[in-house]
Amino acid sequence: MTFTPEAIIQRYVYPIFWATNDEMLINRMCYGTVIYAVLTLLIRNAPYGRYYNYSYGFGVPVKLAWFIQECPSFFVPVIMVAYGKQTAYRGMVNQLCLGMFIMHYFHRSFIYPFLMKSNKPTPFLPFLFAFLTCLYNGILHGLYFVNYYHYSDEEWVYRPSFYVGFMLFLYGMKINMGADAALRNLRGWGEVGYKIPSGGLFEKVSCPNYFGEIVEMWGYALASLSPPAAAHAFFTTLFLSRRALDHHQWYLKKFEDYPKSRKAVFPFLI
């Protein structure tokens, strides 16, 4: 057996989705992402972070858990670029579009976990599901941009959607990282407990970090106009909106003086 990324995908991933070619695999994985997104709406208080639950398996140290679970979405596309055939990965647009995805998961894998002040472990089952989800996404997005769809630079660089999407991606990342930093700064090192966050978009919503990530992923989808990016943005919207609603209700119950005018995730809406 040839140990190229393409050969490994054909041998081990094709059979899972009853696929016989890359197009069929990509389409079915996109449908799978959408179905998975809808199913996440059934989950209340996903059992990690403040909702930690011992019944979902032994605890994995939180920084290690975040690094391991997120890194497949970074490493799989990078390996495909480095060792794959790169049948589509030519030109600026393919590289920038995949670069947005890789940039997001570089931050999630190598920066965000090691800035965390919480030492609350992650139960094994949520950790495992997160790892498999990121592995799934790494294969899907890497395959699409590296081997399947080639963007014509001459045509794509004149599309307003590419530039608007890229700017939305950067804007969403700025919101997300800024809100994450504000939440970290609520606690000193070794300090436990929760406080009411304030300032910036926290005056409008309980979870601006989730709002920023949703904007970020829709920017990625708009810039690339690709089915994997659109499916991923849809998943991000549903999953993080569900968690934001849980957080919002948690804040309202825990703090009597929590601002009643705040929404959960989308300013003035939800």
**In this predicted model, what pLDDT tens digit does every residue of 19-42 receive, in sequence order?**
999 999 999 999 999 999 999 888
Q: What is the pLDDT confidence band of residue 155, given thresholds at 50, 70 and 90?
A: confident
Are 55 and 61 in contact by the 8 Å Cβ rule? The answer is no
pLDDT per position as a tens digit, 58-105:
889 999 999 999 999 999 999 999 998 888 888 889 999 999 999 999
**Six token digits for residue 198:** 């304030």
CA distances to 32, 137, 158 from 18, rounded to whole Å, are 13, 18, 38
Residue 259, in any domain of the structure:
no
Q: Domain of residue 222: give its range.
A: 5-254
Residue 176, in any domain of the structure:
yes
Q: Which helix (H) or strand (E) segment is 45 a member of?
A: none
Residue 267, in any domain of the structure:
no
The total of structural domains in the chain comes to: 1
Query: Is 268 strand, coil or helix?
Result: coil
Q: What is the pLDDT confidence band of residue 190, given thresholds at 50, 70 and 90?
A: low
Give the rounded percent of residues in the chain with a pLDDT score beyond 90: 70
pLDDT per position as a tens digit, 133-149:
999 999 999 999 999 98
Give the rounded percent of residues in the chain with a pLDDT score beyond 70: 97
Q: What is the pLDDT confidence band of residue 195, given thresholds at 50, 70 and 90?
A: confident
Are 193 and 254 in contact by the 8 Å Cβ rule? The answer is no
Max CA-CA distance within the chain? 63
Are 129 and 39 in contact by the 8 Å Cβ rule? The answer is no
Residue 270, in any domain of the structure:
no
Are 207 and 247 in contact by the 8 Å Cβ rule? The answer is yes
**197-223: average pLDDT:** 95
| pTM score over 0.85 | yes
Are 247 and 46 in contact by the 8 Å Cβ rule? The answer is no
Smallest CA-to-CA distance from 77 within 236, 239, 232 is with: 232
Residue 260, in any domain of the structure:
no
Most confident of 93-97, 113-117, 208-212: 208-212
